[in-house]
Amino acid sequence: MDKLELIKRNVQEIVTEDELKQLLETKEHPTAYVGYEPSGKIHMGHVLTVNKLLDLQKAGFKITVLLADVHAYLNKKGTLEEVREIADYNKRCFIALGLDEENTRFVYGSDYQLGQEYILNVLKLTRSTTLNRATRSMDEVGRKMDDPAVSQMVYPIMQAVDIAMLGVDVAVGGIDQRKIHMLGREGLPGLGFKAPLCIHTPILLGLDGEKMSSSNNNFISVDDTEADLTKKMKKAFCPIGQVEDNPVMELFKYHICPRYEKVVFERPEKFGGNLVCKGYEELERVFASEELHPMDLKNGATKYMNMILEVVRSVI
Ligand code: TYR
């Protein structure tokens, strides 16, 4: 797979692809980052952006991971001390997922976001950003946005300034980060910085086919035990023959197939014997034609997800 293909795999949007091509042509080691609000549960949605960082690393990028403790604080996720502690746990998870410390720069927001230069840039960007725009950019990121706090207006401005101050060429994130990234693309040149490229990954469905939410616990976390995983997969939404909006198929598309050349579904002889798929496209055809039963698909997903998480569990 060539570099561009690897970077584009399983991505929802690149802003813009032309700029990316140009970057690859002019820089041997471009830089990219993802920022994460510290979270008690690192789930397969987080892992999707980690996968993309690993792809970028393979393509020669230098990677920064921002442990955005101040952002989590501004978004009312806990005290600064609490979120900082969770950030340490998250860092261990990311390392376990393959972002080894030798090749990845880990930065805590609180380590640089309180400095003079940073703050001055934030203040400058507040002047050229309307309240309306700041609010809208938080639609899919902010907590309780029906009654936003001023801190949640500072949040997207800081995120944009992060891109400049971390000195990265590319900002990576879920598509829910899109409006904040666009604010950065438009606002940063006015402060004398270049406009960043953006790579957006899709947002995965919860296992019940609804939006992921911690109150529903409808997702797989990297620290789930084998028993947790088996239980969650049994209940997963997985209609026969339905490829779209099927969370189990999504696990294959985004997590399993990129890691394994072929997947093997073990079935008793009387149900057709073992079935082998080489790659996601083949699996999609087989499942759509109803040759593979949802039960067998789920058992397969459980087996492979367990293999993926085993490695992580053993280190965190
Ligand atoms: N907005 C991101 C989230 O929703 C967190 C983040 C914070 C990302 C600061 C980047 C950044 O620079 O989790």
Q: List, as one string, the DSSP characters of 208-236.
A: TSSB--TTTT-S-BTT--HHHHHHHHHH-
Enumerate the known binding-site residues: 33, 155, 159, 162, 177, 214
Among 266, 244, 265, smallest CA distance to 256 is for 265
Exposed / middle / buried, residue 286 (Cβ in 10 Å: 0-12, 13-18, 19+): middle
Rounded to whole angstroms, what are the CA distances from 35 to 20, 83, 170, 201, 207?
20, 14, 12, 14, 24
CA 259, CA 305: separation in Å to the nearest integer? 11
What whole-number distance in Å separates Cα of residue 119 and Cα of residue 20? 30
Query: What is residue 144's predicted lDDT score, i.e. its pLDDT?
Result: 92
Rounded to the nearest angstrom, the distance between the alpha carbon of 72 and the centre of ligand 1 is 8
- Residue stretches of the chain with pLDDT short of 50: none
Of 31, 36, 94, the one to substitute when testing ligand 1's pocket (max ligand atoms within 8 A of C-beta) is 36
- Output the pLDDT for position 1: 82
**In 3-state terms, what secondary structure has residue 54?**
helix
Determine the length of the chain: 316
β-pairing, 13-15 vs 197-201, is: antiparallel
Give the nearest ligand 1 atom to 141 CA. Answer: 4
pTM: 0.96
What lies within 8 Å, CB to CB, of 28 at 6+ separation is 60
Q: Determine the Cα–Cα distance for residues 297 and 204; give it in Å rounded to an integer.
A: 18
User: Whose CA is closest to atom 6 on ligand 1?
Assistant: 35
What is the whole-number distance in angstroms between the Cα of residue 311 and the centre of ligand 1?
Answer: 26
- The CA 268 to ligand 1 mean position distance, Å, reads 47
pLDDT of the residue at 267: 95
Instruction: State residue 163's pLDDT score.
Output: 98
Torsion sign, CA atoms 165, 170, 171, 172: negative
Q: What distance in angstroms lies between residue 35's CA and the mean position of ligand 1's atoms?
A: 5
Q: Whose CA is nearest to atom 4 of ligand 1?
A: 141
Atom of ligand 1 nearest to the CA of 71: 7
Which residues form the pocket of ligand 1, taking CB atoms under 6 Å from any ligand atom? 35-37, 66, 68, 71, 141, 159, 162, 177
Q: Is 83 helix (H, G, I), strand (E, B) or coil?
A: helix
Digit-coded pLDDT (tens) for 165-190 = 999 999 999 999 999 999 999 999 99
Count CB atoms within 10 A of the CB of residue 291.
12
Per DSSP, 255 falls in state: I
Question: What pLDDT does 314 receive?
Answer: 87
* 174 Cα–ligand 1 center, Å: 10
